[in-house]
């Protein structure tokens, strides 16, 4: 079961984008940016070949090739920028070019460092305008102009999110998946399986970034924000840093993976001595997050890893409860979880999958996407290419591998393809 989406991926965009600038291709490089509260995400298109007509005539011809070589030959940029190689999508045809989509991220607090790197590599000489989304597109607008003399063309982040989800799903046959037999107490028993997302409407999107936004999606152009919470990925990381002294999200997740939240949380069995059968509450259910921490001896016994695990369980359970209540209130059965909180975070994914399935009596299915937190940046990239969510022509890519890779319709959207 491969986690890489790049092995057999291909798709294409038509040569005529209805909203392109006077029918002309934008000058290269082609990329879109999503500047969030914690992470900035960049999607970059690397063509296999570059024609002289693709360059701005006022730019030195070798500058673009130098920048492309720098981006492709490195997986780290500066001290904190990372290219997620496993998410690369090759063989994507866009406006007469065939190439690869690359996915790059760096902490938002390093924005000034990133901009100085852009200036050093002369990227600012290739583009005067960057298509961007996210709150940081407003916050850092002056920095982009003052440091690298670039303007930001800002786009609505929810529009970009939804367009990005459906664009990537049409490119990749196994982008969407779920966890079969999810059980946080038996992680090895959970099996990752592909989900056929060709006819998803209506569904709920739970976007877990620094905070959480929940959207009801009825079509590619009909969606609205219906709920949310300030307790998201930023809360998890902030509390972990306070409680354990960790410095990064990866460190917090690694620590949580080694911990036991039952040394911190008070469970149903700690109160009732076992299950609470009258209301269908298993003894293993968390009754009070951090419920043991008022006792000195429990605080002394709890390790930093236990505290990290309890923090992860607390935030995830809160998100899961809100998502489930929203879905049931709107009578939606599919709940798609996205956002960088899920990156390198199988614990949270399996907790969410278990909560959706168990507490809904099997009526709700938790779905996940391989490219997690990059959909906003993909949506901004699409805006650069002239695509608009208002277009009547919404099927802008072809993905023949949907059929070639064994995706089959079934009653519940399951597939027999390996992932």
Q: Encode pLDDT of 316-373 as tens digits.
A: 999 999 999 999 999 999 999 999 999 999 999 999 999 898 888 889 999 999 999 9
pLDDT in tens, 283-307: 999 999 999 999 999 999 999 999 9
20 pLDDT band, cuts 50/70/90, is very low
pLDDT in tens, 267-286: 999 999 999 999 889 999 99
| Catalytic residue check, 157 | yes
Does residue 419 surpass a pLDDT of 90? no
Can the peptide bond before residue 70 be classed as cis, meaning omega within 30 degrees of 0? Answer: no
CA distances from 340 to 41, 153, 263, 273, 315 (A): 10, 23, 27, 38, 14
d(CA 357, CA 215): 20
Please give the angle made by the CA atoms of 257, 259 and 260, to the nearest 5 degrees.
Answer: 120
Cβ neighbours, 10 Å, residue 334 = 23
- What pLDDT, on a 0 to 100 scale, did the predictor assign at position 381? 96
Domains and CATH numbers, the chain: 11-169+373-403 (3.30.420.510), 176-258+305-369 (3.30.420.40), 265-301 (no CATH)
Q: Are the CB atoms for 306 and 261 separated by under 8 Å?
A: yes
Does residue 199 surpass a pLDDT of 50? yes
CA dihedral 318, 324, 330, 331 (to 10 degrees): 180
Any bridge partners for residue 212, and if so which? 208, 229
Q: Are the CB atoms for 207 and 191 separated by under 8 Å?
A: no
| Token pair of 3 as six digits | 């986690």
Outline where 84-225 has alpha helix (H): 111-120, 136-139, 141-148, 157-171
Catalytic residue among 46, 112, 120, 157: 157
CA distances from 15 to 1, 26, 56, 170, 400 (A): 35, 12, 19, 17, 18
Provide the 8-state DSSP code for 414.
B
Does residue 168 surpass a pLDDT of 90? yes
pTM beyond 0.95, yes or no: no
- What pLDDT, on a 0 to 100 scale, did the predictor assign at position 275? 93
Work out the percent of the chain whose per-residue pLDDT is above 70: 83
Please give the angle made by the CA atoms of 30, 8 and 90, to the nearest 5 degrees.
Answer: 20
Provide the 8-state DSSP code for 27.
P
Pick left, alpha or beta for residue 206 (phi over 0 → left; psi -120 to 50 → alpha; otherwise beta). Answer: beta
d(CA 394, CA 272): 55
């Amino acid at each position: 079961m491969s986690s890489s989406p790049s092995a057999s991926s291909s798709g294409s965009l038509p040569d005529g984008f209805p909203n392109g600038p006077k029918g002309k291709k934008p000058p290269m490089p082609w990329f879109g940016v999503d500047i969030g509260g914690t992470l900035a995400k960049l999607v970059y298109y690397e063509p296999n070949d570059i024609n002289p007509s693709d360059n701005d005539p006022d730019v030195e011809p070798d500058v673009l090739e130098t920048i492309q070589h720098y981006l492709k030959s490195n997986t780290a940029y500066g001290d904190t920028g990372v290219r997620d190689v496993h998410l690369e999508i090759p063989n994507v045809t866009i406006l007469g070019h065939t190439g690869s989509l690359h996915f790059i991220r760096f902490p938002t607090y390093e924005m000034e460092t990133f901009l100085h790197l852009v200036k050093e590599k002369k990227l600012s000489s290739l583009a005067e305008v960057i298509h961007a989304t996210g709150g940081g597109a407003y916050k850092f607008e002056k920095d982009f102009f003052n440091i690298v003399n670039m303007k930001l063309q800002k786009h609505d982040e929810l529009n970009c999110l939804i367009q990005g989800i459906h664009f990537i799903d049409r490119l990749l046959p196994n982008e969407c998946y779920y966890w079969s037999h999810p059980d946080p107490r038996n992680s090895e028993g959970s099996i990752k399986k592909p989900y056929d997302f060709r006819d998803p409407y209506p569904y709920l999107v739970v976007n877990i970034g620094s905070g959480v936004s929940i959207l009801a999606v009825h079509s590619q152009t009909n969606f609205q924000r219906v709920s949310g919470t300030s307790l998201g990925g930023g809360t998890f990381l902030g509390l972990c840093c306070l409680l354990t002294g960790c410095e990064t999200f990866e460190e917090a997740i690694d620590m949580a993976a080694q911990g036991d939240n039952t040394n911190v949380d008070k469970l149903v069995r700690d109160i009732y001595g076992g299950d609470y059968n009258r209301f269908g509450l298993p003894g293993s259910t968390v009754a009070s997050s951090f419920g043991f921490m008022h006792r000195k001896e429990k605080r002394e016994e709890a390790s930093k890893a236990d505290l990290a695990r309890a923090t992860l369980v607390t935030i995830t359970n809160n998100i899961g409860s809100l998502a489930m209540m929203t879905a049931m209130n709107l009578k939606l059965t599919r709940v798609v979880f996205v956002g960088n909180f899920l990156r390198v975070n199988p614990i949270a994914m399996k907790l969410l999958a278990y909560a959706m399935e168990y507490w809904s009596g099997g009526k709700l299915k938790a779905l996940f996407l391989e490219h997690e937190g990059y959909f906003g940046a993909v949506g901004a990239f699409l805006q650069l290419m002239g695509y608009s969510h208002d277009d009547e022509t919404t099927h802008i890519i072809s993905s023949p591998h949907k059929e070639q890779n064994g995706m089959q319709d079934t009653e519940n959207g399951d597939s027999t393809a390996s992932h």
